[in-house]
A and B are shown apart, each in its own frame.
Chain A
């Protein structure tokens, strides 16, 4: 009887497989005839994103997926040269600034129109600046207008004066922006999608800044959900929430028109599902390929693009721990880590070991900083001198997450842990789920007593050293737990210098300072990868994700 049962199950399974198999054959033939994707004028390009955009008004966004879509619809005054962080003209042909760094004049492209037919001119530029400056109430919230608040540090009704003062349209093609205080990174900041030029007519017509107390969120105005209007190579067509955003080619585009007639950005949150959809040919590309999938995809003939790394993965020291207050211990740990091995064991191809807390393309990078080349003997000697031979450290790392600067944190943790143990440091692992616990552990006051060293990192927004080292070491923080008044003062001074030329030497010196102080170990600059179908051409990966899809073609 018992044998019978299992035998029966087997028969049933085979039978059902056979039935499904024949069904499959039918379905297959159906599909082959049913989907002749004849490439019409340019065809379509389908890209899979890991999450839905929050909404489509980039001025109120700080998430990469909103920016990915808005880079196609909107354009800023300036952009970056493809594949680099260097400035390139876009809606502004050229720009000049006064020596005091308080006034910038942009000369604009002529004959540019927004998708709704509104002229792009100096008036439109000022309308955008004034829109940001005049935000009130909920619109000033950091989770909404992160970038404007962060970079311009104040609104019209703020108690303290922000950086922005006024905008003047001298003629149709001349817009002058006046600042209250110099802001050396001002033009670089204009490459951010948050500062894209939007149609003043559409903003007004669809109530882009409509807030009614905390009840309604301005990000969900008719403008931000259904009528985003820019000057870019693609126009908004429709957005099916959590499914896909569809854009169509802007045939009246002022520059080189896009080659595909339609782009679709599909939301697929599961990384495995993205890979499978690419293999099935349902999508043409996706971002943030898991390092483990890279080789398999290459073997199957898919294209892998490495994005130049504009990030840093570091091991932070918590100086609340007495032992870590000792410079010799911090140096010892720095010497104990074999960065090349960590890269090889846990990071994707194209990742580079790091020497300082920012990538080399950023202004102010200093080649000649103290380099803690891998030297376990020296590490042991330093620990002995510091009287810390029996050091035990609680090592915090996140689980269940893949960040662009940390694709597989568990593997990175294992690699570093074994290197530290090799020089005699005992490690107590402290694992926490990325969401919602890990950042608490790494950055909140409660976390300071639970960890001694931790893994974390950062992806830069644009070419500005303050956006890296200023964020980490600009003031006393829970994450690092040290007080270094000189370093804090130097960073403040550098931030307030009027021009890049004056800033750069000071930042180089600060990078030396940081390396000597060894607040943590800069580990690597991991290169995130994108994957594309065989027929995709013309996608240039950008370190700051300034990727406009107008040159893409897809052969099927």
Chain B
């Protein structure tokens, strides 16, 4: 077990190293001059030259890479020329917003996905099952930002017109952007706004943060939801056909006990894996979701960094996400080994 974990961790090193080289080269191959992008209309040849000097944009590529990696190994992610701030600081400042959103999306996906999948499986082929399977297909097919935008228009901005005398604009009861109403004088300790509200007992601030999370969480959670539903359904159908379930039924065990102890416990194994694998998808989806809902997390920051050729930020953020992704995968594999003895590699 330990050997397995160590081997996996060691394997991460060359992978990340290779990724950093590829990233570095790819970013430098993008068209455009970062110094000019930074200085805007008021750039003069002198100021561009000086900026290139300060940030080393004019050094040979291999040298730039060498300097960057050396700093990276000492925990220095560099400075964003655009804002002048250390990349790591910005990242840590904005990370809570993204994590809060990703967690909310995951909670939504699990809370809705597992029961839906379970009931669909119980009545496989029935109406609910058909709706669920069809809906989950839709969930995967619709791009996150399209869904985000639709949700925003219907439930936050408001559509004109009415249906059966019910004005459609009444559906728009949720906030359309941001993480909290600016007028609420909230104290922020951890920068997880919901958590902050609970810690400081500012209930209205916490509730307002929850309201702000609903739509983006649904948009971002749509893909994991669809995957969890399908996985749960398939997995429960498999388990229901197992011999031990038939035996339990024959023994006359209460249905509740069978469901809890035999069916769900075993069916949840593959679902756990899938949930773990969603971490990367959630971080990627956050880029678009945050942009639509004007949430200032790492997603929207990446979005800005891409358009302004902010190399330091792009490199740092993407590497960081890669590390998170690799670690989550490792954690899932280890967990799985713990849950299911059959899967342990010697």
Contacts and interface: CB of A to CB of B under 8 A. Distances in A.
Interface string A1-42: 100111011011000010011011101101100110100000
A456 interface: yes
Interface string A432-461: 010111011001100000000000111000
Contact of A8 (B36, B51, B134, B179): B134
Given A12-B135, A433-B307, A458 B41 contact: yes
Given A142-B47, A269-B304, A282-B175, A436 B34 contact: yes
Contact of A268 (B44, B177, B188): B177
Nearest to B41: A458
A488 interface: no
Interface stretch (A173-181, A214-222, A543-551): A214-222
A326 interface: no
B195 interface: no
A435 B307 contact: yes
Interface string B86-99: 00001001100000
B211 interface: yes
Nearest to A55: B84
A143 B34 CA distance: 13
B176 A436 contact: no
- Which one of B39, B155, B157, B181 has the highest number of Cβ atoms from chain A below 10 Å of its Cβ? B181
B238 interface: no
A435 B308 CA distance: 6
Contacts of B85: 217, 220
A208 interface: no
A283 B304 CA distance: 23
Interface string A140-164: 0111101000000000000000000
A24 B51 contact: no
A282 B183 contact: yes
Contacts of A242: 93-94, 296, 301
Size category of the binding interface on chain A:
35 or more
Nearest to B138: A9
A282 B46 CA distance: 44
Chain B interface size, as a band, is 35 or more
A54 interface: yes
A243 interface: yes
B54 A141 contact: yes
Nearest to A218: B84
Interface string B203-229: 010010001000000000000000000
Contacts of A443: 36, 43
B79 interface: yes
A20 B84 CA distance: 44
A25 to B, nearest CB: 8
Contacts of A267: 296
A391 interface: no
Given A242-B94, A269-B304, A277-B178, A435 B51 contact: no
Given A62-B42, A273-B177, A283 B291 contact: no
Nearest to A280: B176
A141 B50 contact: yes
A143 B39 CA distance: 7
Residue among A219, A244, A443 with max Cβ neighbours from chain B (10 Å): A443
Nearest to A434: B307
Contacts of A435: 37, 307-309
A246 B183 CA distance: 10
A217 B79 contact: yes
A498 to B, nearest CB: 25
B32 A8 contact: no
A437 B204 CA distance: 45
Interface stretch (B166-174, B324-332, B333-341): B166-174
Contact of A264 (B138, B182, B291): B182
A276 B175 CA distance: 9
Contacts, number: 160
A142 to B, nearest CB: 4
Nearest to A267: B296
A5 B130 contact: yes
A215 B54 CA distance: 10
Contacts of A439: 36-37, 40-41, 43
B131 A11 contact: yes
A533 to B, nearest CB: 12
Contacts of B93: 241-242
A232 to B, nearest CB: 21
B113 interface: no
A440 B54 contact: no
A436 B40 CA distance: 9
A166 B50 CA distance: 27
A244 B171 CA distance: 28
A35 B50 CA distance: 52
Contact of A44 (B42, B43, B183, B307): B183
A281 to B, nearest CB: 10
Interface in B3-56: 30-34, 36-44, 46-47, 50-51, 54
Given A9-B134, A141-B54, A243-B296, A456 B41 contact: yes
Nearest to B308: A435
A144 B84 contact: yes
A138 interface: yes
B307 A142 contact: no
B127 interface: yes
Interface string A179-215: 0000000000000000000000000000000000011
B208 to A, nearest CB: 9
Given A37-B183, A143-B51, A24 B170 contact: yes
B294 A146 contact: no
A266 interface: yes
A54 B90 CA distance: 12
Nearest to A30: B207
B345 interface: no
Contacts of B105: none
A193 B127 CA distance: 67
A299 interface: no
B179 A243 contact: yes
A185 B85 CA distance: 33
B285 interface: no
B156 interface: yes
A456 B177 CA distance: 32
A214 B291 CA distance: 32
B235 interface: no
Contacts of B33: 436, 440, 444
B136 to A, nearest CB: 11
A270 interface: yes
Interface of A: 1, 4-6, 8-9, 11-12, 17, 20-21, 23-25, 27-28, 30-31, 34-35, 37, 44, 46, 54-55, 62, 138, 141-144, 146, 214-215, 217, 219-220, 240-244, 246, 264, 266-270, 273, 276-277, 279-280, 282-283, 400, 433, 435-437, 439-440, 443-444, 456-458, 471
7 nearest A-B pairs in the assembled complex, by CB-CB distance: A436-B32, A436-B37, A24-B173, A242-B296, A142-B47, A8-B131, A217-B84
8 contacts: A4-B127, A5-B131, A9-B138, A20-B171, A21-B170, A215-B79, A244-B182, A282-B175
Given A12-B131, A273-B293, A436-B36, 10 more contacts: A25-B173, A28-B173, A35-B183, A37-B183, A46-B182, A142-B47, A143-B51, A264-B182, A282-B182, A435-B309
